[in-house]
A and B are shown apart, each in its own frame.
Chain A
Amino acid sequence: MSFGNVLAMEWIKLRSLRSTTWVLAAGMLVTAALGMVAGFNTRSVTGDPTSNVLSGVILGQVVVGVLGVLCVTSEYSSGLIRVTLAAVPRRRLVLAAKACAFGALALVAGEVAVFAAFLGGIAVLRPSVPHPALSDPTVLRAVALTGAYLGLVALMGVGVGILVRHSAAAVAILVGGLFVLPPIVGAAGHATGRFMPEMIVGNSLAAVNSVQGFNWSPWLELGITALYPAVLLTAGCIRLTRQDA
């Protein structure tokens, strides 16, 4: 049995659920639509229109994260996980295939959504506001890394799902971790924000003008963000391989 076989199984599972397709499409649409609203509302001539039109990811991340959770926890709630593990007893392979299949799908969907948000948002910018262009490498970096962020949040969802196994609890942990934790930890001082994914995306990844407290390279901040899914997936993998299915 090769990784390709297992990946094929997970890919068929993903695309055979109409709900996944629709929810993902809706998430992309909302991300792009919010970008246009933000673009239209941008008035500051010294602000960062790129960052503004990418702000739809705040909602987009919830969609890909929750879908990531559900692609794992739905197997536990239905009992399908036992069928999956009977077909593929090498459990690491199952988790790797799940993460790759959904991570890749979310990455592509995320990039499409943010580029649509950017192009749509810039198109409706007021003439008085500076118009960023993708030919500017800094702008291209901001848009591309914001899309990549959505891929990473999807992997966080898969990681929390495999670790927690219960849909409601996993969704609560993911959303709580993304939105509730940063302001609490942030109260301790601005320096912590650069370690919080939800703060990183708005202030570093999507930003063209540098933001106070986020003077590290956006690429480094993307790496810090990637540590979250890495840790969650590793912990989830340990639970998956050591415990009963």
Chain B
Amino acid sequence: MGQGAGMIEVRGLTKRYGATLAVDGLSFDVQPGVVTGFLGPNGSGKSTTMRMILGQDMPDAGRATIGGRPYASLRWPLREVGAVLDAKAFHPGRSARAHLTALAASNAIARRRVGEVLAEVGLTSVASRRAGTFSLGMAQRLGIAAALLGDPGVLLLDEPVNGLDPDGVRWIRKLLRSLAGSGRTVLVSSHLISEMALTADRLIVIGRGRLLADTTVTELTARGHSLEDAFFALTEGSVQYR
């Protein structure tokens, strides 16, 4: 595993799109060694926050660091942080193997890692096929293969179980738990509460770009009857498009 299994620190993060405040003074920490669920209704700012952590979108205020450093200043980002923001983020005409080989080259990652991660996500037999022919489930697996390429200590996954069949959902759950079990920092966003109840240890709940709860699954379920009830109690009033 890569060294620098870093903590993700988000401090006063703010992002405005025109008149909309997408993320509003958000602060939280993501600890190594546990799976942290990032929960919130659609449009609550989860993806925007993740993009800012990864240096893709520039915050209007506040900062996000990984192991104490902003993402953009990491020397070999893929060896420290693996991310899946969008499952279909590859060229449809390129093979899975070529996609991963190109990424490996950018961060001077050994070629053999491409074969290893393809095997790990179960895409070896289709590695030479054009990735555009992949199902959503296979695309998710390719995204995860890319995230694992540099054997990073920190992983960020945006809605990784979307579009997966029950088998795939279970596979992701096991994978995330084993990654956290080996001391990595794992932040996984979802709007599926039941899935988070099974996967996550800690929960960060946001609504309308603001922090609603920074807690554990155990604590949150102790308050309500189920995690779902507790979630609705928390996010009541911050769901915009009901």
Interface residues of A (CB under 8 A from B): 1, 5-6, 8-10, 12-13, 16-19, 74-75, 78-80, 82-90, 243-245
The CA-CA distance from A75 to B103 in the complex, in Å, is: 14
CB–CB B105/A8 < 8 A: yes
Look across to chain A and name the residue whose beta carbon is closest to the beta carbon of B74. Answer: A89
B110 interface residue per 8 A CB criterion: no
Q: Tell me the smallest distance from the CB of A72 to a CB of chain B, in Å.
A: 12
CB–CB B106/A245 < 8 A: no
Kindly list chain B residues whose C-beta atoms are within 8 Å of the C-beta of A244. 51, 56-58
The CA-CA distance from A1 to B108 in the complex, in Å, is: 8
The CA-CA distance from A10 to B78 in the complex, in Å, is: 16
The CA-CA distance from A51 to B105 in the complex, in Å, is: 43
CB–CB B78/A87 < 8 A: yes
Q: Which 9 A-B pairs have the closest CB atoms?
A: A16-B98, A79-B89, A9-B106, A8-B105, A12-B102, A89-B72, A244-B57, A245-B56, A87-B106
Interface residues of B (CB under 8 A from A): 51, 54-58, 71-78, 81, 83, 85-86, 88-95, 98-99, 101-103, 105-108, 146
Q: In the complex where A1-B75, A13-B91, A13-B94 touch, is A85 in contact with B106 (Cβ < 8 A)? A: no
Look across to chain B and name the residue whose beta carbon is closest to the beta carbon of A83. Answer: B89
Look across to chain B and name the residue whose beta carbon is closest to the beta carbon of A14. Answer: B102
Kindly list chain A residues whose C-beta atoms are within 8 Å of the C-beta of B78. 86-87
Look across to chain B and name the residue whose beta carbon is closest to the beta carbon of A20. Answer: B93
Look across to chain B and name the residue whose beta carbon is closest to the beta carbon of A8. Answer: B105
Kindly list chain A residues whose C-beta atoms are within 8 Å of the C-beta of B73. 89
CB–CB B90/A83 < 8 A: yes
Q: Which of A8, A80, A82 contacts B106 (CB 8 A)?
A: A8
Kindly list chain A residues whose C-beta atoms are within 8 Å of the C-beta of B51. 82, 244-245
